[in-house]
Structure 1
Amino acid sequence: MSDDARFEDGADRPLKLRAEDAEDVQVISSLVQDAVFPVGEMKWRPKQRRFALLLNRFRWEDATRKRQRDRAYERARAVLAFDDVMTVSTQGVDRTDGEVVMSLMSVHWQPGEDGAGRFELVLAGDGAIALEVECVNVTLQDVTQAYVAPSGNMPTHPE
């Protein structure tokens, strides 16, 4: 057996990641899959050119270890922020009721010219958020300690 360190041996630490290219976006997308957030926690700041979500993300990076040790699955509150945003549009999102809870399924990057492009945040139930941006400039940062997932289950997706 090797003495090399493994991810599973590390301490539970809050995530703090930055995406600057398409591969980085895929990593962040995998970590925010099945995150939930009330519509009221979706903020667009045009003067700062920033769009952010305060979400409750499932801790996918720890799910295998929790399953192996028969421990409770966890979530953490996190901020997913997009900078250098020029425009924001939504589809299937009722912004009049800030308590409606949305579920984020994935984040897609569609490159354009000169580093600009479009992010599409795909929501459960045919909703979407589109962000026209000057470049890939995304951060994901946990802002609380992990807590036991209220459902006690790992999210699943029927085929």
Structure 2
Amino acid sequence: MTDLKLLALDQDDLAVVSAATQDAVLRVSDMGFAKADRRFALLMNRFAWEAGDARGRGQRKRAALRFERVESVKVSGIDTNARDGVLSLLAIVCEETDAPSGHVELRFAGGGTVRLAVEVLEARLEDLGAAWAARGRPSHDVPNHDLDQAKA
């Protein structure tokens, strides 16, 4: 399987990066903001959704995700002092505030978020090496609101 190398310059691109990194796990210490370089980066073990086999097993890959032109970072619901704390990334979204600037939000399981104020959206995702067998396949209980409303 080929390593992913993705560039996101708009919201559609970022949706692809978000899908590729859904259920990635990382330690709090594996993310940081280089203020002088205006870069926010994180290392993760992403679940390689594109690599599942016929038996439903999956793979994980070490990957780096970085955002350029970052003006500030705000963290909510994450204990940044718990350096060995493990986070599970659920989604990455972007909201333009004054085009092309905006906010990028990394949303984690348990309600934690990292919010980046960006001059312009520029994100890069890159796999860093070999894959290994995942211990399990992530799953989510997602309510079907349309079905719930139809039953009411």
TM-score, normalised with respect to structure 1: 0.86
Alpha carbons 2:57, 2:137 under 8 Å: kept: no
| Percent of aligned positions that are identical | 37
Structure 2: tracts of 5 or more residues without a match: 143-152
- Larger proportion of strand: 2
Aligned to 2:129: 144
Match of 2:51, SS state, is: helix
Q: Does 1:111 align with 2:96?
A: yes
- Tell me, yes or no, if structure 1 residue 62 matches structure 2 residue 45: no
TM-score for the superposition, normalised by structure 2: 0.90
What SS does the aligned partner of 2:15 have? helix
Q: Distance in 2 between matches of 1:73 and 1:117?
A: 34
Is 1:35 the counterpart of 2:24? The answer is yes
Task: Please say if 1:23 is aligned against 2:6.
Answer: no
Q: Which amino acid aligns with 1:25?
A: L
The alignment covers a number of residue pairs equal to: 142
Q: Give the aligned partner of residue 139 of structure 2.
A: 156
Distance in structure 2 (CA, Å) of the matches to 1:90 and 1:118: 13
For the residue of structure 2 that corresponds to 1:136, the secondary structure is coil
> CA RMSD, aligned part only?
1.0
Deviations along 1:18-57, one digit per CA (max 9) or x if unpaired, are: 0011100000000000000000001110000000110000
Query: Which of these residues, 64, 73, 77, is aligned with residue 79 of structure 1?
Result: 64
| AA in 1 matched with 2:46 | R
Q: CA deviation at 1:97?
A: 1.6
Inter-CA distance 33–85: structure 2 relative to 1 (3 Å threshold): same
Using the TM superposition, give the Cα deviation of residue 71 of structure 1 relative to its aligned residue in structure 2, in angstroms: 6.6
